[in-house]
Structure formats: C-alpha cells, structure tokens
Structure 1
Amino acid sequence: MRLSLTSQPASAGLRWFKAGFQELLRQPLAYAGLFATFMLVVLLISVVPLVGGPLLMMSMPLLSLAFVMAAAGTRRGVPVRVAVLVAPWRSGPALQRRRLFQLCLSYAVALTLLLWLAGLIDGGQFDRWLELTAKGDTGSAEWENLANDPAVRDGLLFRVVSGSLLSMLYWHAPPLVLWADQGVAQALFSNVLALWRSLGAFVVYNLCWMAAGLGLMLVQLAVPALGILTLPAWLLLSTAFYASLYASFVDSFAAVSPD
C-alpha cells in the first residue's frame, strides 16, 4: 500500500479522542476482552525468568498494532477477535515479520536505556517507593520520606516525559511496517513527520486523554466508596484510547492508488 502524509488541524485531535469511544461502542465487550487478554498475557510473560522483562517491553508496540488492525477490520464488518494479537505473525512476507520484530526489539532497547537513566537519576528510590505503594505501605515512615524525596519526583518526571516521547516516536510505526512495507528507520521517520505536520492535533488529542485520566483519578479520590468500580472504568478508558489510534492513523496517512 502506498501512503502519503497529510496535515490535520488542531480540531482533529478532539475528533480522534471522540472516535476512540465511538469505536469502543461498536463492540465494547470484544474490545475490552482484547485489551484484558493482552494484559493477562503480558502478566504471565513478565514472570518468566530472564526473558520475561524484555518480552514484555517488546510486546507494547504490538498492542497498538492489534487495535489499529481490529478497528480497520470493523470498518469492513469483521468482528474484533483476540486472534488479531498474533495475526501479523501468521501471514505476510517474512521480511515484513522480520522488520516488525526489529521494531519491537528497538523499542525494548530504547525503553531499557530510559529506565537505566531513570535509575541513575533517582538512585533506585523510585522503584522502592513503587514497591511500598504496591504493598499498601502508604502510611509508613519510609513511604512518607520517599514521597517527599526530590530524587523520587525527578525520577517520576523523567519516566513520564521520556516514556511519552518514546511512545510518540513509535506511534504510527507498527502499521507503517505492516501496511506500507516500510523498514524500521523509514517507519520511525515517517511517523515523526506525520506528528510534526499535525502537531496541533496531536497536542489536543493527548491533552484530552490526560484530562480524561485526571478526571477519573479525581473521582476515584473524591469518592473512595466507588472502590472496585473504578477498575472497569480504567479498563474502558484504556481500551478507548487504543481504539482511537486507528482514527489518528488514517487521518495522518492517505492511501494513494498506483499510477
């Protein structure tokens, strides 16, 4: 497939945000099941000694690709199925699969480097704070000290900013490898150009998702009685986000008919 870059106004970001919920409503249970299945699989992978961590990081671009492929399928009347997670590896040229593997590997390497740098910034304090938080020791003196430690805040800020930039670098890269027959470097370059040409739209788009996440978090803090009800809310919000990726892709790249 030949693709050409397009430019979108800032208002497109709001349209992409809405498209995520609209796409989710097409097949809500199927999309939620797809996301939940992926999370379960990566949870099982993560406990495998030695290779679990790297495989977990390599799998992240495949999640966005699965949702883009699923949304493309719904446009043709194809129901969302969990099998879309492995569809890129079951068909297509071997070169295409090799490029996709290289893309996932490069993402894992870049993420590993960022986490290593983050560890240098906070001296491992952030990981300890996260460990205590996961255990529920949020009232302990150690947790309080770590929460007020500038190194922990710096480590958190670095992780958020660098992780967001890395995600943006790989935003459209997986479908470009799969559908546009691009190599890893070319797909990353095309992705950066697409984001730059529609920068205002992507800023609005990300601000909308940040506001949605912050709003849900505030509700969770303000009404603790909701308790376990917030878990499916986060699941649906995360699923809607991934379901919105297809809208941003098709608006950023237009198919060109062969001459």
Structure 2
Amino acid sequence: MQAYKRNPTRGFAWLVDGFRLWKRSPALVTYLTFGYLLILVLLSVIPLIGQAVASLILPIISLGVLNGMLAIHEGRKAGPEVLLSGFKSNVGGLVTVGGLYLTGTLLALAATALIDGGALLRIMVGNQALDEATMATPGLMGASLFGTLLTTPLMMAYWFAAMLVGWCGLSAPKAMFFSLIACWRSFGAFSLYVLGIFFLVLGGPALLISVIAQGSPALASLLTVPLPLITIPIVFASFLPNALDIFGQDVPHTAHA
C-alpha cells in the first residue's frame, strides 16, 4: 500500500477540490453530510450504550459517505441508499476499526485522570456537566492538552481506516497502521487542512457575518442558518480528494459503491 507524501499546500487544495465536488451535486453531498451527522446524534442519545454503538457503527457510515462522494466524482447516479452502502463491505473489519478507536480513546481519557483526577473523563462520558465549577477543576486544562496529545496519533490511524478496510480489503489493524503512516508522511498538509477547515466552518463565516452586521444586523442573523448548510458539506466532500491524493487515483477501483 503506497501512501504518497504531499506538500503542505495540498491541504488547502483538498478543500478547493471538495468545493468543486460539492458544486457537482449539492443535494447529494448535503444529504450524505447531514445524514451521517443525524445517525451520529440518534445513536449517541441511546442511554448507556449509545456512544459505544456510535463508535462501532460510524466507520460503516463513513464508508457510505465516501461511496456517495465517489459516485459523484465518477459521474454515476446514486440514491439515498448509498449512505448505508458500507454495510455491504467487510462489516466485521469496519466494526473492528470502530472498536479499536473506542478502546484507544477510553485509554487516553483514562490516562488524563493522572492530571485532573478523572474530571475530563467524567465530562466526556456524560457523567459530569460542563459548568463553571467544573471548568475551575485543577488540572482540567492540562488534562485536555494531554488528552489531545494522546488522541492525535489515534485520530491519524482512524482517518483512512474505513476506506482501506472497505475499498482495499485490509484488516482493521493493518488499515489503521497504514492510515497513521499516510497522515504522518503528509503531516504538514494535514495541519494546513485542519486550519482550512477551521476557517471555512468557523473563522470565515464569523468574519463575514460580523462585517455584514455592521450594515444589516437582520441579514447577518439570517446568514447564520444557510452558511453551515454549505460549509460543512464542502468539508465532507473534501474527504474524497484527500484520500485520492494520498493513496492515488487507483484506490477506488476496488470500491463497491
């Protein structure tokens, strides 16, 4: 499995390519994006087991999103059912990816208890409200930074794993290993990619709305609703150009959309 090293500027190019993909089928990209997010929310609210179930299922739904984006990229027709098409591709391997990610996340959160006595862990699992008193917990900020440091390699290992399991037939551990290596080889590009996502979803719209609010507060207020309906799907659309650029255009030839 070859993961190409890309220049840092490619991080911005992935978002530009995501915008182009979104323009080809705004309705389908928007459906895939918010369908994914809705499934995440619905699973997460299930008492006791919701978050665990969501972690196990989301690699399957993520593959469905990529299958839909690939259909748009290749000019093929795809219906609403494409969001669940991941259930046709190595479900066991995809669930294992989710399980490994969940286990790693819980271990990382447990490790932060060495700094804040378990406050961050209780917040993340929903056992403690994030209020003023909680924010004042000694060591909470340090625990958050430590948790970020521990989970960053885990997120890198997770990033391409669903694609590599579903499209390339790799086992979950091997897919996560290659995903980690791929992200590390192009770490500069991914860093700018994350910054670009932050600006596209938060910084850019906030700046635009603040400028418009100087002349028309009502119009600025109205824009707070449609802007996320455009920017978030563009981010989701950029996942496919990102994958194709890192692993080469031949990767989706093994996909089953």
Range of TM-score over shorter length: 0.7 to 0.9
CA contact (8 A) 2:209 2:223 kept: no
Q: What does the per-residue CA deviation read over 1:101-149, in whole Å, with 9 as the maximum and x for residues that have no partner?
A: 211211122222233334554345556699766xxxxxxxx62x54455
Offset at residue 32 of structure 1 (A): 1.6
Question: In 1, Cα distance between the equivalents of 2:225 and 2:116?
Answer: 30
1:88 to 86, 91, 112: 86
Question: In 1, Cα distance between the equivalents of 2:82 and 2:239?
Answer: 15
CA contact (8 A) 1:67 1:245 kept: no
SS across alignment from 2:2: strand
Offset at residue 212 of structure 1 (A): 2.8
**Could you say which residue in structure 1 is the equivalent of 2:29?**
31
State yes or no: 1:244 paired with 2:232. Answer: no
State yes or no: 1:65 paired with 2:63. Answer: yes
CA contact (8 A) 2:40 2:58 kept: no
**Could you say which residue in structure 2 is the equivalent of 1:11?**
9
State yes or no: 1:154 paired with 2:142. Answer: yes
1:203 to 179, 191, 195: 191
- The range that moved more, 246-255 or 79-88, is 79-88
**Could you say which residue in structure 1 is the equivalent of 2:50?**
52
Alignment CA distance shift 1:186-1:86 (3 Å): same
Q: What does the per-residue CA deviation read over 1:140-193, in whole Å, with 9 as the maximum and x for residues that have no partner?
A: xx62x5445553323443454444442222111111111111111211121122
CA contact (8 A) 2:59 2:94 kept: no
**Could you say which residue in structure 2 is the equivalent of 1:76?**
74
SS across alignment from 1:185: helix
Structure with the greater relative contact order (CA < 8 A, sep ≥ 6): 1 or 2?
Answer: 1
**Could you say which residue in structure 2 is the equivalent of 1:181?**
169
Alignment CA distance shift 1:85-1:15 (3 Å): same
CA contact (8 A) 2:70 2:240 kept: yes
| Normalised TM-score (structure 2) | 0.77
Alignment CA distance shift 1:5-1:109 (3 Å): same
CA contact (8 A) 2:36 2:62 kept: no
Offset at residue 33 of structure 1 (A): 2.0
Unaligned stretches of 5+ in structure 1? Answer: 134-141
Question: In 1, Cα distance between the equivalents of 2:139 and 2:208?
Answer: 27
CA contact (8 A) 1:176 1:187 kept: yes
Q: Aligned-pair RMSD on alpha carbons?
A: 3.3
Q: What does the per-residue CA deviation read over 1:2-52, in whole Å, with 9 as the maximum and x for residues that have no partner?
A: x53323222222211211222222222222222222222222222323321
Partner amino acid, structure 2, of 1:182: L
Matched pairs, number: 242
Offset at residue 60 of structure 1 (A): 3.5
Question: In 2, Cα distance between the equivalents of 1:58 and 1:30?
Answer: 24
Question: In 1, Cα distance between the equivalents of 2:241 and 2:44?
Answer: 31
2:179 to 191, 212, 216: 191
Offset at residue 247 of structure 1 (A): 0.8
Partner amino acid, structure 1, of 2:64: A
CA contact (8 A) 1:10 1:200 kept: yes
CA contact (8 A) 2:18 2:235 kept: yes
Alignment CA distance shift 1:148-1:245 (3 Å): same
CA contact (8 A) 1:27 1:80 kept: no
Question: In 2, Cα distance between the equivalents of 1:110 and 1:59?
Answer: 16
Question: In 1, Cα distance between the equivalents of 2:80 and 2:105?
Answer: 26
State yes or no: 1:97 paired with 2:88. Answer: no
Question: In 2, Cα distance between the equivalents of 1:184 and 1:193?
Answer: 14
2:40 to 42, 57, 60: 42
**Could you say which residue in structure 2 is the equivalent of 1:116?**
110
CA contact (8 A) 2:3 2:247 kept: yes
- How many percent identity over aligned positions? 26
